[in-house]
Amino acid sequence: MKSINLLYLGYWSAHDSITHSTIFQHLEVLSGFDKVNKVIFCSIERHGEIQPVAIPIPKVSHRPLHSKNLPGKFITKWLDFFIFPRQLKSLIKKHNIHLTIGAGTQAGTLVLKAAKNTPAKVLVSFFDPHAQYMRALGIWKKYDPRYLYLNYWEKKLKKQADWLFPVSHAYRQTLLKEGIPDEKLFTVPCTVNLEKFKPDKEKGLAVRQKLDFSAEDTVGIYVGKFGDIYFDEEAFDWLAAVNKIIPQLKLIILTSQEKPRITAGLQRAGLAKNDYFIACVAHQEVPDYLNAADFAFSFIKPHPYSHAYSPIKHGEYWACGLSIVLPDHIGDDSAIIKKSGAGVVVKNLTKPETDLRKLPAVLQNKKPIFIRNLARQNRKPKLVGDIYTNILSGT
């Protein structure tokens, strides 16, 4: 059996929680194949130079790429897309790489440029229409150089990459309608470690005691940010509506954003100081907090391209048996929740309370085992393994 060497590029720091929650699962799967000899994992470090990190996965070694982080984002990004492909090409040649993998459209662009004029094949995992949704959300304008550049390379990836892994079935259908060949498209959602994320009443009660929340309180949780691709003021409007609907409501907010701004929003929503807890915690601590909750929020903004999402937080919520309150048209998940009844899908964004009034009935009919099975069906790591088996069998 021919052995192969892989290069996997993430677009985030090796220390970033999204790297641990998404990319590491792919690295674990890939390292488990007998024919894989080694995996070179490259991260992009934007806050100073770091030494290679010891990755606790067999066959995987780390090579950090260091962004210059100069004044002005445009200059820094331009240099990244000029310098990194050269560094990656050097690694491809040095380690005799057979397959390059880029996590997301930006990383995919970098490996496509690096693999040019080499025998290495190109795969883009977590493929999404990043440029399109940044424009749809108004974050990038039509003539923004970032939009023009990434939109150009998204089109290139669709034509030139050997395989694309969209994260939702809905977006795969869109790509098929665009004429992308069926054989290069594989739906691979953001999967969840079901051993780390699972119901645990004891740990949940311990967190409640630590936060001074009682067993009788109804606790909602949100993991993530406010603003940008997520709701900002609208999120606090939702929380205000739920606070009126649910007696003894308590909230846990796990975020890396600064507390004062979020505290002000929660107070506007009518929550007293002892009704909420805000913190930034390590990814391995998140399951304990999820187990302290009765339900979860997702504040991703819906837009014409939001069907391409697969939020990792949804899988983690499901794995811990939590119902989700979320907008319509988010990846495959809104449709799954509508069909299963495992949460509340807010369709009326101008009057969210219309749909949020359904929440008490959902909470009265808790079904954590059924909800955890949604994670087993839609976000289990075996989905990743099955797809890579298909890809590597022909490499």
- Domains along the sequence of the chain with CATH: 4-191+380-392 (3.40.50.2000), 201-378 (3.40.50.2000)
Instruction: Quickly tell me which residue has 């100081």 as its tokens.
Output: 273
- The phi and psi torsions of 45 (rounded to 5 degrees) equal -105, 120
pTM for this structure? 0.92
What would the two tokens of residue 181 be? 């060949």
Q: How far apart are CA 229 and CA 311, in angstroms?
A: 12
Q: How confident is the model at residue 79 (pLDDT cuts 50, 70, 90)?
A: confident
In this structure, the chain runs to a length of: 395
Asked if 97 contacts 91 with a C-beta cutoff of 8 angstroms, the reply is: yes
Mean pLDDT of the chain: 94
Q: How far apart are CA 382 and CA 384, in angstroms?
A: 5
Q: How confident is the model at residue 1 (pLDDT cuts 50, 70, 90)?
A: low
Each residue of 166-222: pLDDT tens digit? Answer: 999 999 999 999 999 999 999 999 999 999 999 999 999 999 999 999 999 999 999
Each residue of 58-78: pLDDT tens digit? Answer: 999 999 999 887 776 677 777
Each residue of 119-156: pLDDT tens digit? Answer: 999 999 999 999 999 999 999 999 998 999 999 999 99
Give the pLDDT score at 49: 86
Each residue of 288-347: pLDDT tens digit? Answer: 999 999 999 999 999 999 999 999 999 999 999 999 999 999 999 999 999 999 999 999
Each residue of 223-272: pLDDT tens digit? Answer: 999 999 999 999 999 999 999 999 999 999 999 999 999 999 999 999 99
Q: How far apart are CA 24 and CA 34, in angstroms?
A: 18
Q: Residue 69: how many CB atoms within 10 A of its CB?
A: 13
Give the pLDDT score at 383: 92
User: Which segments within the chain are labelled E, that is strand?
Assistant: 4-9, 36-45, 60-66, 99-103, 121-127, 163-166, 218-223, 249-254, 276-279, 295-297, 323-327, 343-346
Q: How far apart are CA 372 and CA 370, in angstroms?
A: 6
